[in-house]
Amino acid sequence: MSGGSTNNEIQLAAPEVIVQYRPEENDTDSKTKTKTSNRDERTMESHSHHPGRRSNRDIFLTKCYSTVFIESRHDKRLPLIQKVPSRLREVKSNYNCFDPSIVSIGPYHYGKDEFRSMEELKYKRAKRLLSISSRCSATFEDLYDMVLKVVKENDLRARYADDFKDKQFDDEQFAAIMFLDGCFILDFICYWLYEDPKEEEEGTKERDNSIMRDLFLLENQLPFLVLKELMRKIYIGDIRKVLDTRYEHRMGIGEENEDEELLPAWTTTDDSYQKEAIISFINQQIGTDIPKSDRYSSYEERQPIHLLDCLRMRLEGNCRPSKSEGEKYQLIRSAKQLKAAGTVFKSSCKHFLAEISFQSGIIFAECSLPPIVVKNSTKSMLLNLAAYEMCPDASLYKVVTSYICLMDELINDADDVKVLSSKGILRNYLGSDQQLADLFNQMPDKLAPDHSIYCHVKQCLASHYEKKRIRFLNSWTSLGVTAATLALILTFVQTFFTIYPMDKFTS
């Protein structure tokens, strides 16, 4: 359990075999796939067992048949926990946005010297986590053995894109990392929501904010299955006490405590408490809350892959962005220019990034945008979500990426920030308005948005602006024609009286 090295290096994939997905077993279709699988196996053998005469053709066909064989055995596939694409790390302004600052979660950054003190703290936090549940009879041995079983049965090592050749984990060491990190995350969630901010020790607020940031890094993720299984054993029903009034106290929203039945959870009704805790914690990271009726809608379709995926599901909501074929990129003006053209900005009540709407009126138009709290960790959070959307096997709508690029278009300078802040769309905790403008102007570098996601809204904004501009130009043109006509008349009158002075008429 110590996380040391072993002499036996574990290979996750055979050399020369490229696999983009790690599948889950689907027993229901196993019989129908037996013939296909056997045929693929025989074909693979025919291309791979020719000692001494393996040509490039044989190597290529081995890769092809290996991939077809693996994918033909499984229908349901889960995306891997990937690493950040190198092109995002190459951007200078993204420095320190992707690496943990205080705590490592999972295997990618495990063992680094700067995180050794937090590794010791994880043991204490695991003990504290067990002490909060009065009805939990599980011991360290019970929980570790459970996690080890989950690791082996679900092949959790294979859920990571990296094969950890440099770290040489065996299953027991890997399970120890999963166990300690899972307990650490759940303990942090519990005390973040439950502990009274007035009772916090001096200096812990800064540390906790750093931990909160680190938990939502792409390379700092734990399979959600580990968290769910640990919560089942530890919390049982006592998690309810974590969710009394402390969440509203921290958020400052003053929402009434309604004794309402929670909606169905990921698997069983007992998990509803777990679900409520995770969603409340996610809302803490975002800094905004949503109505209870909408809290669960995006989580009913599937179980999250990890905590960052859970955050992204919360931001996307239950709606899917409308995408139309053939729609092209549409450039829009800044918020200040759009306001001058009669566009009124409004804060949306839904808080979902995909829900940006436009309503045209006779004189003014209204554009609704979701509110967002911008703080020190916001850039890191958004860029890691964008990196997650770039993963080759994620199959996600690029909602966050497209949102970042949309805000970059709306915000050019501090004046644009003032326009959006005055309507409650931006809550700036960075400092100056120019700092916030710089943040959104730097983030889109190396990002490729899906232009169809906000295409309709952007077309409406551009069309409304253009109509106002043409109307304004036409009004000036009309005024110019009128002025020119009047000047011509006055010139004619002046010329007339120059030729025929008034004294001639009086005489």
Digit-by-digit pLDDT tens for the chain (507 residues) are 444 444 433 333 333 333 333 334 444 444 444 444 444 444 444 544 455 566 777 778 777 766 555 444 444 456 789 999 999 999 999 989 999 999 999 999 998 999 999 999 999 999 888 887 655 667 889 999 999 999 999 989 888 987 666 677 888 999 999 999 999 999 898 887 766 555 556 567 888 899 999 999 999 999 999 998 998 887 644 444 444 434 344 433 333 333 333 333 333 334 555 666 677 777 766 766 555 555 545 545 577 899 999 889 888 876 565 555 555 677 889 999 999 988 999 998 877 888 888 988 777 889 999 999 999 999 999 999 999 999 887 667 899 999 999 999 999 999 999 999 999 999 999 989 999 999 999 999 999 998 888 888 998 998 888 886 655 444 545 666 677 778 788 787 777 667 767 666 565
The pLDDT value given to residue 236? 46
CA distance 232 to 239: 10
The pLDDT value given to residue 421? 95
The pLDDT value given to residue 282? 78
Q: Is 65 left (phi over 0), alpha (psi -120 to 50) or beta?
A: alpha
The pLDDT value given to residue 383? 97
The pLDDT value given to residue 319? 59
Q: Give the CA angle between residues 68, 69, 70 to the nearest 5°.
A: 95
CA distance 462 to 126: 55
Q: Does residue 20 lie within any of the structural domains?
A: no
Q: Is 497 helix (H, G, I), strand (E, B) or coil?
A: helix
Measure the CA dihedral 224/225/226/231, to 10°.
90
CA distance 443 to 383: 7
Q: Does residue 273 lie within any of the structural domains?
A: yes
Asked whether residue 41 falls in the same domain as residue 97, the answer is: no
pTM above 0.75, yes or no: no
Report which secondary-structure segment, H or E, holds 343: strand 343-347
CA atoms within 13 A on the CB side of 409: 17
Asked whether residue 276 falls in the same domain as residue 379, the answer is: no
Domain boundary among 33, 54, 75: 75
CA distance 220 to 302: 21
Q: Which two tokens stand for residue 419?
A: 């326009």
DSSP letter string, 374-424: E-TTHHHHHHHHHHHHT-TT-----HHHHHHHHHHHH-SSHHHHHHHHTTT
Q: Is 428 helix (H, G, I), strand (E, B) or coil?
A: strand
The pLDDT value given to residue 247? 39
Q: Which residue has the tokens 């309402």?
A: 260
Domain boundary among 276, 307, 338: 307
CA distance 114 to 104: 9
Q: Does residue 335 lie within any of the structural domains?
A: yes
Asked whether residue 65 falls in the same domain as residue 119, the answer is: no
CA distance 286 to 38: 50
CA distance 458 to 437: 20
Q: Does residue 262 lie within any of the structural domains?
A: no
The pLDDT value given to residue 401? 95
Asked whether residue 347 falls in the same domain as residue 245, the answer is: no
Q: Does residue 223 lie within any of the structural domains?
A: yes
The pLDDT value given to residue 133? 61
The pLDDT value given to residue 64? 73
Asked whether residue 47 falls in the same domain as residue 93, the answer is: no
Asked whether residue 91 falls in the same domain as residue 207, the answer is: yes
**Residue of 239, 233, 29, 26 lying closest to 150 (CA atoms):** 233
Asked whether residue 97 falls in the same domain as residue 151, the answer is: yes
Q: Does residue 293 lie within any of the structural domains?
A: no
The pLDDT value given to residue 501? 72
Q: Which two tokens stand for residue 69?
A: 């064989």
Q: How many domains does the chain have?
A: 3
The pLDDT value given to residue 19? 33
Asked whether residue 393 falls in the same domain as residue 446, the answer is: yes
The pLDDT value given to residue 33? 43
Asked whether residue 63 falls in the same domain as residue 121, the answer is: no
CA distance 367 to 158: 45
Asked whether residue 337 falls in the same domain as residue 475, the answer is: yes
CA distance 357 to 47: 56
Backbone angles phi, psi at 427, to 5 degrees: -115, 105
Q: Does residue 261 lie within any of the structural domains?
A: no
Q: Which two tokens stand for residue 136?
A: 């939990």
Q: Which residue has the tokens 């805000």?
A: 407
Q: Does residue 499 lie within any of the structural domains?
A: yes
Asked whether residue 66 falls in the same domain as residue 192, the answer is: no
Asked whether residue 402 falls in the same domain as residue 275, the answer is: no
CA distance 251 to 279: 13
Q: Which two tokens stand for residue 155?
A: 């092949």
Domain that holds residue 165: 86-251+268-285+302-307
